[in-house]
Structure 1
């Protein structure tokens, strides 16, 4: 606690200008009754396309979905898919990596290979011990 005669250091305030790039209508909305015809506007050039994105294409949604398969009287079986796979059930809950690995460890579950599910989850299930420095 400061006593009555203590002086706090003076706070210095400098005038400054800054610009913020916003994207309408995501970040801003016009105020009703205000004319914006005279507001200076600079259009940004389109962002360059990433070489990685060009080669690999757009990313798929993260996660996996389980298609339940019932074969006769045995236990329920399933097939794990990438969420954008044509064979994936519509509206199925999206599983995060931990849940997908738990489901994948079930002997009745297969990992679909055509959508990349098997290529993504198999190394995580078997570990990365087989990878050596070359």
Structure 2
């Protein structure tokens, strides 16, 4: 969901657009959009198009470009009135804890015979095998209970699954 501070009728303002091949042109800035990794600017570039018959008429080609890599402000131009589309503000949980990890666990099977031999990892763990099937909580707990299966402490699978396996009270009040 996005929120917008855009007026009903946007009025474009001039902006320098950096083109490939060390070229630049003055285009028109129509709007700005915040994205997760920065900003995109909707710019209109001057062009020509074929009109009726053999005529050629002025036109504008609109494109979204990255800022500041592809645009520069012009001296004396105010960009305060340009419509801006902001990302929805992250929740308090997201701000404090960061982005949510993908759900699920995977089993990295170890050599040898028998069920449950290996290590349970979080899906995004660097040690998790690529292409392994994702286990839901119940299946990950079943696999983790087998002798010979260990829980990865690097990715937090141990911290997430151990309390469920052994009970949440374990480790409190001086217990191990």
Query: Under TM normalisation by the shorter chain, which class is it?
Result: 0.5 to 0.7
TM-score for the superposition, normalised by structure 2: 0.46
Aligned to 2:100: 59
> 2:120 is matched with which residue: 63, 72, 80?
80
Secondary structure class of the residue paired with 1:86:
coil
Distance in structure 2 (CA, Å) of the matches to 1:131 and 1:113: 17
Distance in structure 2 (CA, Å) of the matches to 1:89 and 1:130: 31
Aligned to 2:134: 94
Instruction: Please list every run of 5 or more consecutive structure 2 residues that lacks an aligned counterpart in the other structure.
Output: 3-82
Query: Is contact 2:163–2:170 with CA below 8 Å preserved after alignment?
Result: no
Aligned to 2:164: 124
Instruction: Please list every run of 5 or more consecutive structure 1 residues that lacks an aligned counterpart in the other structure.
Output: 1-20, 22-41
Q: CA RMSD in A?
A: 2.4
Q: CA deviation at 1:43?
A: 7.1
Secondary structure class of the residue paired with 1:55:
helix
TM-score for the superposition, normalised by structure 1: 0.59
Where does 1:108-123 land on structure 2 (aligned, <5 Å)? 108-123=148-163
Q: CA deviation at 1:109?
A: 0.3
